[in-house]
Amino acid sequence: MAIINLREALNQAMREEMRRDERVFLIGEEVGFYQGAYKVSRNLLEEFGTTRVVDTPITELGFVGVGIGAAMVGLRPIIEVMTFNFSILALDQILNNAAKIRYMSGGQFKIPMVIRGPGGAAHMLGAQHSQSLEIYFAHIPGLKVIIPSTPYDAKGLLKSAIRDDNPVIFIEAELMYGLKGEVPEGDYTIPIGVADIKREGKDVTLIAYSKMLHLALDTAKELETLGVDAEVVDPRTIRPLDVKTIVDSVKKTGRAVIVEEGWRFGGVGAEIANIIYDNAFSDLDAPVERVTNLDLPMPYSRNLEQAILPNKERVIEAVKKVCYL
């Protein structure tokens, strides 16, 4: 298999789907002539032209609405927001139209669209550009929410998202575009709503996604020196969530630590913890632990930014707590 980075994997997914289905088009800020703020749409304009790679003004509410209308009449738009922090400006379209029109029309209209772009904290971008907003979208019935952690997953899941007949929120970690990994050549898809066990283990389950998956994997290696064999589960899809894979892993290990970059109050980890208690309470040997961002706006300075984000020391401390070390 080829070794490519996550940016290239996303580009391949869009290119292959645009070749496969002429109804698929890309729209968003700087996706065409500038080839994307993070160069995810490199050379797509050259191949598909301005009718299928459409540059927009800085008007998220407007061009998300254009995408919804296009989806209603049979097209399959991919809408790129320059950062998911800007998706806040389109929340009315996303939450009240994209998520609800299929239900409110009694199934007369499908909304086959993908809203994708970078999210989460990057280096020193400040409070308004360093937010993990996936729980906002996962809270809304009618939306699917995907957050890939590897180039392989990113390509396969994006292709599935583009083919889905429902609106899909697809969040890419801003600091992972250069992450490299094996990606098969040619067409493949990964089912939406299926988690992946990235590392087998028997003593504790670490549940993490996006950048936090790699923190969990690095921590698992260090935990070996403490005699702890950690299993690492990547949900990949926040909604629908693969409850069975997560619960089966926790039943096997008897312990769970959830690691996420979002805020603690009302976070994704809170929902996963509740699911574990509902489905595996009698199998737990310790209460579920959560490692999250601190409940504060993100500081600009690097040292304070690092103090707020989850780190290896906090994950190890949580594992020691559930393993009574």
Q: What percent of the chain has pLDDT over 70?
A: 100
Same structural domain for residues 165 and 239? no
CATH code of the domain covering residue 102: 3.40.50.970
Same structural domain for residues 113 and 221? no
CATH code of the domain covering residue 211: 3.40.50.920
Residues written for the chain: 325
Report cis status (omega within 30 of 0) of the bond before 287. Answer: no
Tens-digit pLDDT profile for residues 153-208: 999 999 999 999 999 999 999 999 999 999 998 899 999 999 999 999 999 999 99
Catalytic residue among 60, 134, 174, 305, which? 60
Same structural domain for residues 246 and 296? yes
The structure tokens listed for 314 are: 């906090």
The structure's pTM equals 0.96
End-to-end CA distance of the chain: 41
Quick one: pLDDT at residue 119? 95
- Cα 167 from chain centroid? 14
How big is the CA angle at 87 (ends 181 and 174), to the nearest 5 degrees?
A: 25
Output the CA torsion sign for 253, 256, 258, 259: negative
Quick one: pLDDT at residue 325? 80
Tens-digit pLDDT profile for residues 114-152: 999 999 998 889 999 999 999 999 999 999 999 999 999
Quick one: pLDDT at residue 123? 87
Same structural domain for residues 142 and 206? no
Same structural domain for residues 168 and 208? no
Q: What percent of the chain has pLDDT over 90?
A: 98
Quick one: pLDDT at residue 324? 92
Tell me the mean pLDDT in the region 288-306.
94
pLDDT at 1 over 90: no
DSSP string, 189-243: ---TT--EEEE--SSEEEEE-THHHHHHHHHHHHHGGGT--EEEEE--EEES--H
In the annotation, is 200 catalytic? no
Quick one: pLDDT at residue 185? 85
Beta-bridge partners for 231:
205
Quick one: pLDDT at residue 300? 93
Determine, yes or no, domain membership for 36: yes
Tens-digit pLDDT profile for residues 33-92: 999 999 999 999 999 999 999 999 999 999 999 999 999 999 999 999 999 999 999 999
Q: Give the 3-state secondary structure of 10-28.
A: HHHHHHHHHHHCCCEEEEE
Helix boundaries (H) for the chain: 6-20, 44-48, 60-72, 91, 101-104, 134-138, 151-163, 211-223, 243-253, 268-280, 302-308, 312-322
Same structural domain for residues 82 and 222? no
In the annotation, is 129 catalytic? yes
Tens-digit pLDDT profile for residues 11-27: 999 999 999 999 999 99
Determine, yes or no, domain membership for 93: yes
pLDDT averaged over the chain? 97
Same structural domain for residues 151 and 69? yes
pLDDT tier at 104, thresholds 50, 70, 90:
very high
pLDDT at 224 over 90: yes
Query: Which residue among 158, 183, 208 closes a domain?
Result: 183
Determine, yes or no, domain membership for 188: no
The structure tokens listed for 150 are: 């590897």
Quick one: pLDDT at residue 309? 96
Question: 147, 163, 153, 214: which is closest to 183 by C-alpha?
Answer: 153
Amino acid at 324: Y
Helix, strand, coil proportions of the chain in percent (round to 5)?
40, 20, 40
Catalytic residue among 129, 222, 271, 317, which? 129
Same structural domain for residues 172 and 234? no
Range of the domain at 115: 2-183
Query: Which residue among 140, 155, 183 closes a domain?
Result: 183
Determine, yes or no, domain membership for 69: yes
Q: Are strands 237-239 and 144-146 parallel, antiparallel or unpaired?
A: antiparallel
Same structural domain for residues 101 and 173? yes
What is the crossing angle of helices 211-223 and 312-322, to 10°?
Answer: 60
Same structural domain for residues 41 and 163? yes
- Domain count along the chain: 2
Same structural domain for residues 33 and 68? yes
Same structural domain for residues 42 and 149? yes
Determine, yes or no, domain membership for 189: no
Determine, yes or no, domain membership for 9: yes
Query: Which residue among 130, 156, 183 closes a domain?
Result: 183
